[in-house]
Amino acid sequence: MNKDDYIAVLFYASWCPFSQECKPNFEILASLFPAIRHFTFEESSIRPSIISRYGIHGFPTLFLLNSTMRVRYHGPRTVKSLAAFYRDVSGFDISMTSANLEAVDSLDGIELKKDTEQENCPFWWARSPEKILQQDTYLALATAFVILRLLYLLFPKIGSFAKQAWRRHTLFPNLVGVHEYFFTYLEQARQKFFRLYPSKRGNLQEGARNATAWASKSLASVSIGEPSTIGRTNSTNEQR
């Protein structure tokens, strides 16, 4: 095979809705680019070694290759996008036969018809959200109801969990604040007590000094009064 000889290989799966859309477009491309040989392989006929060799991770997968390179297609599966991919890689242009010109002219009509027709897809998740809303309105509403219902049931639990987490977050600083407030109040009480205690002690000392002074005065008065009494007694005896 020369480097100018290109081969287009499509790996598809019969159960895949994307493959069902891509395979007819691939057949149209075979008529638009007759210089490129086209081959299709269904999933059941593909050996695991080929899947591993080409790195096939999903369906459909399109390769355009020659003797020197292998290019994998990524993009929309429309005929126009695939034809642009063919031209960019191989350099070939669309064959200008009468049948091909009619096919090219009908591409716009085919694309428009595909957009307006209802999608025959067995998997609702493979459709676009707009198509789901248009074709399966009840399914979309039921799905939205289930999601809202789950949020309604889970919201109180999430709220209570958030409150518990917030309480745990704020409980420790509150305990530290109460601890500090308690010791501050205890320190103030101790200072007030020590302020009152010296005054009481001073009152007791002053009372003791007053009592000592009073006792000394009493003893002095008694000691002064004893000689006069003795003198009066002696004078009385002499008169007798």
Mind listing the pLDDT tens digit for each residue in 118-139?
A: 444 444 445 556 555 555 666 7
Q: What is the pLDDT of residues 145-197, one digit of tens each?
A: 888 888 888 888 887 888 887 777 676 566 556 666 666 767 777 677 667 65
Residue 11 confidence (pLDDT): 92
Considering only residues 119 and 61, tell me which one the structure prediction assigns the higher pLDDT: 61
| CA–CA distance, 157 with 154 (Å, rounded to integer) | 5
Domain of residue 12 covers: 7-123
147 is a domain residue: no
Give a yes or no: residue 238 inside a domain: no
Give the lowest-confidence range in 31-40, 70-79, 153-162, 222-231: 222-231
- pLDDT of 185-200, one tens digit each? 677 776 776 676 555 5
**Per the domain annotation, does 119 fall within a domain?**
yes
Q: How confident is the model at residue 49 (pLDDT cuts 50, 70, 90)?
A: confident
pTM: 0.43
Q: Is the peptide bond before 76 cis (omega within 30 degrees of 0)?
A: no
Query: Is residue 129 domain-resident?
Result: no
CATH no. for residue 44?
3.40.30.10
Let me know if residue 99 belongs to a domain: yes
**Quick check: 231 pLDDT over 70?**
no
Query: What percentage of the chain reaches a pLDDT higher than 70?
Result: 53
Look at residue 160 and tell me if it is in a domain: no
Comparing 160 with 203, the larger pLDDT belongs to 160
Residue 190 domain-assigned?
Answer: no
CB contact at 8 A, 35 and 6: yes
Distances in Å between the Cα of 229 and the Cα atoms of 204, 233, 240 are 38, 6, 17
Half-sphere exposure of 64 (CA within 13 A, CB side): 22
36 in a structural domain: yes
Structural domain count, the chain = 1
